[in-house]
Amino acid sequence: MAAPDHPALKPRVRERPLSPHLQVYRWQVQMVTSILHRATGVALVVGALAMVYALVALAAGPERWETFTACAGSVLGKIILFGFSWALAYHLLNGIRHLLQDAGHGFAIRDFVRNSWISIIGSVVLVAVAWVIVLMQWGQS
Amino acid sequence: MSDNWKRHENFRTPLKRAVGLGSAKDGTGHFIWQRITAIVLVLLGAYLIGLLLSLGGASYELARAIVGDTVNATILVAFLIAMFWHAKLGLQVVIEDYVHTPALAGVAHVANIFVCALAAIASVLAVIRISLGA
């Protein structure tokens, strides 16, 4: 008599991919880099539209440009600019990481974790350097 | 979908209906263009960030002179086109992943194309106007 779990007795079921259940995963840095890349990408679209506004204002004349610089120079404007600059730095660094991965580099688990951290920490360093330069120039002018 | 009306008598799963139809035939193009625009954005973006950081507090005249410079305007136009192309490709994937209502997804895809194209045209036109002194 065949065992109840004999393969021939099982219904033929096509193996299907299951969507991942996020709640069973321990948080790992690779998940953070992946989610942040998409989130910063969407945020940067808004930043790109702000860039369009800046260029159109610059083309439209001194008054419109004044309005733009007043918006960008306000406290809220500076906070948003700072946010955009970090999103850009992160998306840029992690984008380069993705391009290197597309070329087949950095897939060993240790490398993957390490270059994930490089994206995150590097973006913070890059933004800090950029804003130090900007603030130094504001001090001079 | 045109066969919505008979959904109640159709017990086939979406997978069963999709199997054997092949790929959508344009995934590779999407992948390649996303990477090409990414490379363009890294190179030209580095140039533009350097330019922006060297500006300091930009007066109206200085900002116009720098944007209107022939080399800078050329790089800026290339950057803007690559940026909004890249944005369109990226947002398209986000919509495909998260918007599951067919009608809403269709509207979102069309809106994505319209907004990205319009933004690219408006910004490129602005750079051209500045560059030509109009």
| Confidence (pLDDT) at A59 | 96
Best mutation target, A35, A46, A58, to test chain B (most B CBs within 10 A): A58
Q: Is the pLDDT of residue B4 over 60?
A: no
Number of domains in chain A: 1
| Confidence (pLDDT) at B1 | 47
A2 in a structural domain: no
Nearest to A58 among B41, B55, B67 (CB): B67
Minimal CA separation from A121 to chain B, in Å: 19
Q: Which two tokens mark A33?
A: 């880099």
A21 in a structural domain: no
CA-based Rg of chain A, rounded to a whole angstrom? 24
| Confidence (pLDDT) at A105 | 93
Asked if B23 and A107 touch (Cβ cutoff 8 Å), the reply is no
pLDDT, one tens digit per residue, over B59-100 is 899 999 999 999 999 999 999 999 999 999 999 999 999 999
A60 in a structural domain: yes
The verdict on A102 touching B (C-beta cutoff 8 Å) is yes
Q: Is this complex scored with an ipTM above 0.90?
A: no
Are the beta carbons of A99 and B122 separated by less than 8 Å?
Answer: no
Mean pLDDT on B5-9: 55
Query: For chain A, which ranges sit under pLDDT 70?
Result: 1-4, 7-13, 22, 139-141
| Confidence (pLDDT) at B24 | 79
| Confidence (pLDDT) at A3 | 62
A123 in a structural domain: yes
Minimal CA separation from A136 to chain B, in Å: 9
Residue written as token pair 């804003």: A131
A44 in a structural domain: yes
pLDDT confidence bin for B22, thresholds 50/70/90: confident
A6 in a structural domain: no
| Confidence (pLDDT) at B109 | 97
User: Cβ atoms within 10 A of the Cβ of A67, count?
Assistant: 13
Range of the domain at A75: 28-138
Given CA atoms B97, B101, B106, B107 in this order, what sign does their dihedral have?
negative
**What CATH number corresponds to the domain at position A47?**
1.20.1300.10
A57 in a structural domain: yes
A122 in a structural domain: yes
> Structure pTM?
0.84
